[in-house]
Amino acid sequence: MAKFDRATKQTQTGKTTCSAIVGSAAFQLGVRDHQLCCPFREAVDVARMFPGVRGAVWNYERGRLYAAACAGKGKRPLPSRANGRYVNRSLIAQFAAMYVCKEVL
């Protein structure tokens, strides 16, 4: 199994939205892994789980960060889907306040 090190070139960055981040399967996996106290997955493993999905590794890390921030405030992370179909607007707002505005939940 290959590992990333400091000599590895950083992945390209691009624009995204909070809705796309919290609605992604990788974000949901990061939240779940944190809640279940799973060890942090290697970036190459996350990339293999979501082949061809741009930003999957970043979204996984963001999901773990969001879940950790919730736990630090004694809150449970909000579900990512409302009515099973739409991305939860409350989650988008909470994530944006925490991540984009750097406010603690």
How much is the pLDDT for 63? Answer: 95
Q: Which tokens sit at 75? A: 């809150």
The span from the CA of 76 to the CA of 25, in Å, is 18
25 CB neighbour count, 10 Å cutoff: 15
pLDDT digits (tens, 9 = 90+) for 60-76: 999 999 999 999 888 88
How much is the pLDDT for 8? Answer: 63
Q: What is the mean pLDDT of the chain?
A: 85
Answer yes or no: are the C-beta atoms of 101 and 94 closer than 8 Å. Answer: no
Q: Which tokens sit at 49? A: 């789980």
Question: Angle between the 56-72 and 25-35 helix axes, to the nearest 10 degrees?
Answer: 40
Where the chain has pLDDT below 50, the residues are none
How much is the pLDDT for 103? Answer: 62
**Taking the alpha carbons of 7, 13, 51, 20 in that order, is the dihedral positive or negative?**
positive
How much is the pLDDT for 10? Answer: 65
How much is the pLDDT for 47? Answer: 92
